[in-house]
Amino acid sequence: PGADLQLRGPLGHGFNLPGTARRVALAGFDGSCARVLALLEPALALRAGVVLLTDQPPDGLPAALEILPLAALFETAPWADYLAVELRRESLPEFVDLLLPNRKDSYAQGKTISTSGRVQVLVDTPVPCGGLAECGACSVSLRPNAQPLLACKDGPVFDLY
């Protein structure tokens, strides 16, 4: 009590669910889906069909939500006109490779994700500078040979399509 606090935030940019979205897919690429679930209520308010792709669904989800294993991402992504994915920074090259299969260091091994709409990805990475965009520790590379971006300033949600 009586201590002064200095709070910063929110950092960067969040998800931007299009008002025209009618088929929404939310995916927890690395298991966690807590952050993409923030889009559930707005998507249902748009009367969109919503699919959650995760191998670890939390309890208490509404019946209007279809839950599928993450392996169904390959079949579900073409259906969605908006795909939101949560993943760790270490998994970003693998996920981008699934979307851009012609990369030299391919992880996809013949499987690629076909999408028909907008794709946004939330990259979970440490932000040790507290959002000052000075240390570069949160840098991410979304495409081969592209300039790295900073999660604290440019993200942590990035548009892939």
| Of 98 and 78, the one with more pLDDT | 78
pLDDT for 113? 61
Residue 158 structure tokens? 């990035």
**Residue among 26, 12, 143, 152 nearest 86 (CA):** 26
Please give the C-alpha separations between residue 32 and each of 53, 85, 113, in angstroms, as whole numbers. Answer: 10, 10, 20
Report the alpha-carbon distance of residue 112 to residue 131 in Å, rounded. 34
Calculate what percentage of the chain has a pLDDT beyond 70: 84
Specify the pLDDT at position 116: 63
Asked whether the whole model's pTM tops 0.75, one would answer yes
Place of tokens 């260091």: 105
**CA atoms of 74 and 110, how far apart (whole Å):** 12
pLDDT tens digits for range 7-49 = 766 667 889 999 999 999 999 988 888 999 999 999 999 999 9
Tell me the pLDDT tens digit for each residue of 84-118.
Answer: 999 999 988 888 777 765 444 444 445 556 566 78
